């Protein structure tokens, strides 16, 4: 399973990249705003800076919600770097735009997906990635991982090449759940990725090894 980090924070992207486990980045307008990035030029420069750090796909979301606007914006974003994936919302014009980008060989990430039917449409339109938001479903007491399972089944039934990008991941249990189901990618915060490192028996075991070593060395 590929690991994407869901942030526009350059320091966190660098930390994940340095850990050696990062396969890509997802951003969205809220994450860009959180970093104080606004204005066309700043946004463009920020995407370029992310592409310089990361070795993999970088999702950049369109702001337009009409077909022509999404095409114009998406083509501008895609021209920035071959790593750019145009992130398009799951709306009618978004599906049409995904079809257009797919024919032109421009990678897409269909975002804001909350049902298997939406994921089926995204795959039919030729999306490179589909992003079901599992954390936001959990927030309204709907099992987000169950949606990943449904999409996996549907895509495998028909051999769709669209990659399931489990989004809105909140913690390490989500990552493990996605891995067991067979999601192609997960995107989450740095904290969820680094939480995978942690086990109390690792910490106490290491402390014991070091203490025994020091004792044997007469320290």
Residue ranges in contact with ligand E4P by CB under 6 A: 6, 26, 28, 111, 131, 133, 135-136, 167-168, 187
Report CA-CA distances (Å) from 165 to 41, 110, 168, 194, 196. Answer: 28, 9, 10, 19, 19
The span from the CA of 151 to the CA of 158, in Å, is 11
Beta carbon of residue 135, minimum distance to ligand E4P (angstroms, whole number): 5
Catalytic pick from 87, 96, 104, 215?
Answer: 87
- Smallest gap from Cβ 207 to ligand E4P, in A, equals 35
**Cα–Cα distance list, 97 to 21, 28, 69, 86 (Å):** 32, 18, 10, 10
Closer to ligand E4P at the Cβ: 135 or 182? 135
On whether the CB atoms of residues 63 and 73 are closer than 8 A, the answer is yes
At 52 the three-state DSSP class reads helix
Give the residue with the Cβ less far from ligand E4P, 26 or 108: 26
- Pick the closest to residue 147 from 164, 159, 163, 129 (CA basis): 164
Minimum distance, C-beta of residue 7 to ligand E4P, in the bound complex (Å):
9
Which residue's CB is nearer to ligand E4P, number 183 or number 215? 183
**Is 87 one of the catalytic residues?**
yes
User: Which residues form the catalytic set?
Assistant: 87
């Amino acid at each position: 399973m590929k690991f994407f980090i869901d942030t526009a924070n350059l320091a966190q992207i660098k930390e994940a990249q340095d850990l050696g486990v990062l396969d890509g980045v997802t951003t969205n307008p809220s994450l860009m705003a959180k970093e104080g990035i606004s204005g066309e030029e700043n946004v463009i420069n920020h995407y370029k800076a992310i592409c310089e750090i990361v070795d993999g796909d970088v999702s950049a979301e369109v702001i337009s919600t009409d077909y022509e606007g999404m095409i114009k914006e998406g083509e501008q974003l895609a021209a920035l770097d071959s790593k750019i994936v145009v992130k398009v919302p799951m709306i009618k014009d978004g599906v049409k735009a995904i079809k257009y980008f797919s024919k032109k060989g421009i990678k897409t990430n269909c975002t804001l997906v909350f049902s298997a039917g939406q994921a089926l449409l995204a795959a039919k339109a030729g999306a490179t990635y589909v992003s079901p938001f599992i954390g936001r479903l959990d927030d309204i007491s709907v099992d987000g991982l169950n949606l990943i399972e449904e999409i996996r089944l549907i895509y495998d039934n028909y051999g769709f090449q669209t990659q399931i990008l489990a989004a809105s991941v909140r913690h390490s249990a989500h990552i493990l759940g996605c891995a067991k189901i067979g999601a192609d990618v997960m995107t989450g915060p740095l904290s969820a990725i680094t939480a995978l490192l942690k086990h109390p028996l690792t910490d106490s075991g290491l402390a014991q090894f070091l203490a025994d070593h020091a004792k044997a060395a007469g320290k």
